[in-house]
Structure 1
Amino acid sequence: MRSIRARLILILMGSTGLVWLLAVGWIYLSTQAEVERVLDARLMEAARMVNSLLSDHRIEVGLEENAARKAMGEFELSNRPYERQLSCQIWTLEGSLVGRSENAPEAQLTEIQDGFSETEVGGERWRVFTVENEVLGVRVMVGDSLQIRDSLVSDVIKGLVVPALLILPFLAGVILVSVRRGLSPLSDMAETLSTRAANDLRPLEAASLPKEIAPAVNALNGLFKRVEDARDRERSFTAFAAHELKTPLAGVKTQAQIALASDDPTVHANALRQITMGVDRTSRLVKQLLDLTALEANDSEPTLQPVSARALMRSVAAELPLPQGAARLSVEADGEGADRVLVEPHFLSLALRNLIENALNHAPETTGVVCRVEKANGGVRLVVEDRGPGIPEAELSQVVEKFVRGRNRSATGSGLGLAIAQAAMARMGGTLALENRDGGGLRAILTVRKAEAAA
């Protein structure tokens, strides 16, 4: 059942009906016990009263049966419901009936000589209390029909159940109205959302809502905020990407026009070199855009596996498209077995490639780029160092943002390399730190978990 309203109605009506049934059962049992106690007390009092009257000679033993019946009729109650169910018999100790009330059976009510007992006489069950009078030589038996007792209890229960059954439809209507009014905030919220425009991501008002609905509204407002932030990032990303792509494409077009307009071979060669550089820059920018989009769009958990950081560094260095890259790169490690890390290889490769390309683009041709694997507290550090101009201290926290390029920018950069490295490390639980080296240059530090420690 997918309807909360229907579920609540069924639960409330079912639980209410169950409570009514349990209440009726409890009242029935308690009423029956109380009626039994009261009627037993009345039996006892009636038997003792008749015995007292016999002892006081207000009823003479030995009278004829009709006379005795007439005398005992003086102690019977008026003929109203439940007032003539008592029957009285007087028997001698030898077993002769010497008196009985008008409605009493002729057969002996019980064989028990004294106290309470239950018997069946003439197909009818009786509850009997017996008092033995040894002085007069008689037994007084006062009996109560169990059928009449059961009728009394049944009438009491009917008096409770019938009003309850009449109230149930009214109670069902109250439950329906209450559930509908209780769920009205959800209906109002749904109506508000249905009338909104697609680009309206304002948060919903949660202050006046019931506290049970407030968590869902707060979560929905959080979703609106994340969607709005994502849209802002997409707008900024699209604007910056269009700007960054426009510049190299315009340069390529300009160099092509120069080559077409000139007959000088030197101008032709220079224009072709510029076109090649522009195409390389555009190709790298497109590749970085695709990498960044893949990192931000992929919500699945990364598959971490143990790899050799030094081998991964060497593999990335070997794949770099720059011809002079391998000759100017060196990969070092603290020792054998110290470079095993638990990472997503693709993410770590993205981070390393962008860091190494960034270092190669900024490092002077006379200096090299050093990649080093170091031990750290509970982890491993992958360090990429160059002897370039470095980054001003005020810009260190900003250059990891997309399309942010510092003052010491290179001609081929686009401001995405450090952002890709930052996003890749965040996806697999690592960190990226940037610091300037003493004597000039930049040090980029990737900190990841050690494979043995993680296991």
Structure 2
Amino acid sequence: MNSIRIRLFAILLAATGIVWLSAFIWVQQSTRAKVERVLDARLAEAGQMVSSLISDQRIDVARAPATVTEIPTDGEFSPVGYSHKLSCQIWSLDGILVGSSKSAPTAQLTSDDTGFSINVIDGERWRVYSVVNETLGLRIMVGDSYTVRDRLVRDVTKGLVLPALLMFPILAGLILFSVRRGLVPLEQMAAALSRRPADNLSPMAVASLPREIKPMGVALNGLFSRVDAMRDREKSFTSFAAHELKTPLAGIKTQAQVAAIAPDSETRGQALHRIQLGVERADRMVKQLLALASLDTGDGTSDGTCNVISVVKAVVSDLTRVATDNHVSVQMDDRTDGKTQANAVLLTVAVRNVLENAIIASPPGATVEIVVSRDGEHCLVAVLDRGPGISGPDRARITDRFYRGNGAKEGGSGLGLSIVATALQRLGGTVDFDSRADGGEIVTLVFPQG
């Protein structure tokens, strides 16, 4: 059942039906109890009256049972014909039948001396009241059949229930109408969203929404905000990437033209060398752009965990040629006993970019140190270089995309540290920057162990 309207209608209708059924059972039981009390009082009244008439000799004993059918009914329950259903028997204390009404059975109504009793005669249950007239030596028994009593209860209950059953379809229609009217705000919200252009990510008005669907409006506004931010980030990413790739490509084109018209081999060699540098720069930038796009979309970040030391060693091995070309050595210090784990893809991307930046920033002959350690439940990967470091004004924006700080070497794209920050965010960690006392920068990756 995927329709909220049908679900609400079914729930409300079922709840109403249960309430009405409970009310019907209560009315039936209550009516039966009240009818029993009234009819028992009538039996006792009839028995006492017959005994009194016989004692006062106002009526013959043989005719006395017939007077029961003439007793007027002044109680709450006086159905037509019920007064004729009372039965009366008069027995002597010696067990001789003295008189009996026409409606009475042939067998004795009860064997009890006095009071109320229930007896089964010829398979039919009877409610009987008996009273003993000691003066005349008679026992007067007045009773009525439970069949009559049950019919009376059914008649009274039916009179109460039938109107309610006739009203039930009307109530069901009112419930359905109310449910439809109650869901109008939700339909209006859906209609407003369907009319909204795809490029309209402005927040929708939620102040006028009902309290029940206002959280949905707030959640949609949050989604709009996140989608708008992602769209802006993609726009800026595309524009900056196009701008940054334009420079090395233009340089490559220019140097290719120079090489083509070079008058001598020396000029041609220099142009080819610059082409090689431009290609390397473009290659590095494209790799960084792909890595950043992969992190933004979450591709590949669900891979299993791997030993942190193994990841760092693999990255160092991959960057050996870069370190050699820059005449920089890399030294690694493991202080974790090899027991730390982390997401292999994210950690590789982060460590590679930090280490590559450190190698490029360091002067020839310098040593870049990598220290892997543990601090409680967190793992720390610190990369120490001997480069110019990050100036104070640049620290606040150093992880922004395409931002290159003052004094950055030519050829950088401003993406490396933003990639690191994104990867660490997905790892649930942070990247910290600190200056070295004797010159250089310390970049520390802090993340929880996997």
> Does the pair score TM above 0.5?
yes
| Corresponding residue for residue 189 of structure 2 | 189
Q: Distance in 2 between matches of 1:381 and 1:93?
A: 110
Question: What displacement does 1:381 show?
Answer: 1.9
- Which string of whole-angstrom CA distances, capped at 9 and with x for unpartnered residues, describes residues 86-145 of structure 1? 222222112233334464455532233222223345665421111122232100111112
Name the SS of the counterpart of 1:211 in structure 2: coil
Query: Does the 8 Å contact 1:77/1:84 carry over to 2?
Result: no
Please name the residue that 1:400 is paired with: 399
Corresponding residue SS for 2:431: strand
Task: Determine the structure 1 residue equivalent to 2:297.
Answer: 297
**In structure 1, what is the equivalent of residue 348 of structure 2?**
349
Name the amino acid aligned to 1:20.
W
Q: Distance in 1 between matches of 2:191 and 2:26?
A: 47
Change (3 A) 1:211 1:301: farther
Q: Which moved more, 1:109-118 or 1:73-82?
A: 73-82
Q: Could you tell me how far 1:444 is from its partner in structure 2?
A: 0.5
Query: Aligned partners of 1:81, 1:217: CA distance in 2, in Å?
Result: 68
Any conservation in 1 of the 2:331–2:367 contact (CA below 8 Å)?
no
Post-superposition offset of 1:236: 0.5
Tell me if the contact between 2:427 and 2:448 (Cα under 8 Å) persists in the aligned partners: no
Aligned with 1:136: secondary structure? Answer: coil
* Partner SS state of residue 198, structure 1: coil
* Contact 2:329–2:366 (8 Å) recurs in 1: no
1:36 corresponds to which residue? 36
Does 1:446 pair with 2:448?
no
User: Is the contact between residue 355 and residue 418 of structure 1 (CA under 8 Å) also seen in structure 2?
Assistant: yes
Alignment correspondent of 2:114: 114
Residue in 1 that maps onto 2:216 = 216
Please tell me whether the aligned partners of residues 308 and 342 of structure 2 are also in contact (alpha carbons under 8 angstroms).
no
| Aligned residue number for residue 21 of structure 2 | 21
Q: 1:22 to 1:127 in 2, by over 3 A?
A: same
| Displacement after TM superposition at 1:77 (Å) | 5.4
Q: CA deviation at 1:317?
A: 1.9
Residue 322 of structure 1: SS of its match in structure 2?
A: helix
Secondary structure of 1:239's counterpart equals: helix
Bigger mean CA offset, 337-346 vs 28-37: 337-346
Match of residue 380 from structure 1: 379
DSSP-derived class of the 1:370 partner: strand
Residue 5 (structure 1) shift: 1.0
Query: 1:313 touches 1:331 (CA, 8 Å); kept in 2?
Result: no
Pairs within 5 Å for 1:49-198: 49-61=49-61, 65=62, 67-68=63-64, 75=71, 80-101=80-101, 103-105=103-105, 107-121=107-121, 124-198=124-198
Question: Aligned-pair distance for 1:331?
Answer: 2.4
**Residue deviations 1:208-256 (CA, integer Å, cap 9, x gap):** 1122111222211111111111100000000100000001111111111
Kindly indicate whether the alpha-carbon contact (under 8 Å) linking 2:65 and 2:99 is maintained by their aligned counterparts in 1.
yes
Contact residue 387 and residue 439 of structure 2 kept, 8 A:
yes
Three-state SS of the structure 2 residue aligned to 1:22 is helix
Unmatched 5+ stretches in structure 2: none
Distance (Å, rounded) in 1 between the aligned partners of 2:409 and 2:67: 131
TM-score w.r.t. the length of structure 1 is 0.90
CA displacement at 1:325 relative to structure 2? 5.7
Q: Distance in 2 between matches of 1:238 and 1:131?
A: 108
Please state whether the residue corresponding to 2:84 is helix, strand or coil: coil
Counterpart code for 1:272 = L
**How many angstroms does 1:328 deviate by?**
2.1
**Counterparts of 1:266 and 1:194 in 2: how far apart (Å)?**
67
C-alpha distance in 1 between matches for 2:345 and 2:363: 29
Greater Cα offset, 77-86 or 403-412:
77-86
**Residue aligned with 2:99, SS:** strand
Q: Secondary structure at the match of 1:281?
A: helix
Aligned position for 1:265:
265
- Measured in 2, the distance between the counterparts of 1:315 and 1:350 equals 11
Which piece of structure 1 moves more, 348-357 or 321-330? Answer: 321-330
Which residue pairs with 2:388 in the alignment? 389
Structure 2 residue matching 1:448: 3-state secondary structure: strand
Query: Matches of residues 240-319 of structure 1 in structure 2 within 5 Å?
Result: 240-298=240-298, 302-309=302-309, 311-319=310-318
Paired position in structure 2 for 1:428: 427
Q: Deviations over 1:32-88 (max 9, x none)?
A: 122112211221232123223333443454xxx3x5457667646599442332222
2:140 maps to amino acid: V
**CA 1:364 to 1:39, structure 2 compared with 1: closer, same or farther past 3 Å?**
same
Distance 1:31 1:70 in 2: 29
How far is 1:359 from its partner?
A: 1.1
Shift of 1:303: 4.1
Question: Residue deviations 1:371-393, cap 9 Å, x none?
Answer: 22234343332111111111112
Give the counterpart letter for 2:34 in structure 1.
E
Q: What is the alpha-carbon root mean square deviation over aligned residues?
A: 2.4
Comparing 319-328 with 88-97, greater Cα deviation is found at: 319-328
Gaps of 5+ in 1: none
For residues 190-221 of structure 1, the C-alpha deviation after alignment (integer angstroms, 9 at most, x for no partner) is 11111111111122221111221112222111
Paired residue type of 1:254: T
Structure-1 separation of matches of 2:27 and 2:68: 37
Instruction: Report % sequence identity.
Output: 47
When residues 197 and 409 of structure 1 are mapped into structure 2, their CA distance, relative to the original with a 3 A threshold, is: same
Contact preservation (8 Å) 1:339, 1:373: no
